[in-house]
Amino acid sequence: MKIVILDGYTANPGDLSWDGLKAFGELTVYERTKPEELLERAKGAEVLLTNKVIIDAEAMAALPDLRYIGVLATGYNVVDIAEAHRRGIAVTNIPAYSTMSVAQMVMAHLLNITNRVALHAEAVRDGEWQNCKDFSFSKAPLIELDGLTFGIVGLGNIGQQVAKMVQTFGMKVLAVSSKSEAELRQLNIRKATGYEQLFSEADVVSLHCPLTDETHHLVNRERLALMKPTAILINTGRGPLLDEQAVAEALLAGKLYAVGIDVLTEEPPRKGSPLISAPNCFITPHIAWASKAARRRLIDIATQNVAAFLQGKELNRI
Task: Give 65's DSSP letter.
Answer: T
The catalytic residue among 109, 208, 223, 238 is 238
| 316 in any annotated domain | no
> In terms of domains, do 68 and 112 share one?
no
| 304 in any annotated domain | yes
> In terms of domains, do 24 and 59 share one?
yes
Q: Which long-range contacts (CB under 8 A, 24 or more apart) does 28-35 make?
A: 28/2, 28/3, 28/4, 29/4, 29/5, 30/4, 30/5, 30/6, 31/7, 32/7, 33/6, 33/7
Distance CA 55, CA 49 (A): 10
Q: CATH number of the domain that 221 lies in?
A: 3.40.50.720
> In terms of domains, do 255 and 108 share one?
yes
Q: With residue 83 as reference, give the H or E element that holds it.
A: helix 81-87
Determine the pLDDT at residue 83.
98
> In terms of domains, do 158 and 201 share one?
yes
Q: With residue 294 as reference, give the H or E element that holds it.
A: helix 292-310
Determine the pLDDT at residue 57.
98
> In terms of domains, do 143 and 265 share one?
yes
State how far the alpha carbon of 82 is from the alpha carbons of 79, 88, 315, in Å.
9, 10, 18
| 317 in any annotated domain | no
> In terms of domains, do 67 and 170 share one?
no
Q: Residue 185 sits in which domain range?
A: 99-283
Say whether 238 is catalytic. Answer: yes
Q: Tell me which residue of 263, 288, 314, 300 sits closest to 108, measured CA to CA.
A: 288
Say whether 267 is catalytic. Answer: yes
> In terms of domains, do 265 and 126 share one?
yes
> In terms of domains, do 54 and 119 share one?
no
**Contact (CB, 8 A) for 120 and 138:** yes
Domain count for the chain, please give it. 2
**Contact (CB, 8 A) for 8 and 18:** yes
Q: With residue 304 as reference, give the H or E element that holds it.
A: helix 292-310
Say whether 286 is catalytic. Answer: yes
Determine the pLDDT at residue 75.
87
Q: Tell me which residue of 25, 31, 35, 32 sits closest to 3, measured CA to CA.
A: 25
Q: For the chain (length 318 residues), average pLDDT per consecutive 10?
A: 97 97 97 98 98 98 98 94 98 96 98 97 97 96 98 96 98 96 96 97 97 96 98 97 98 98 97 96 97 98 98 96
> In terms of domains, do 106 and 212 share one?
yes
pTM of the model: 0.93
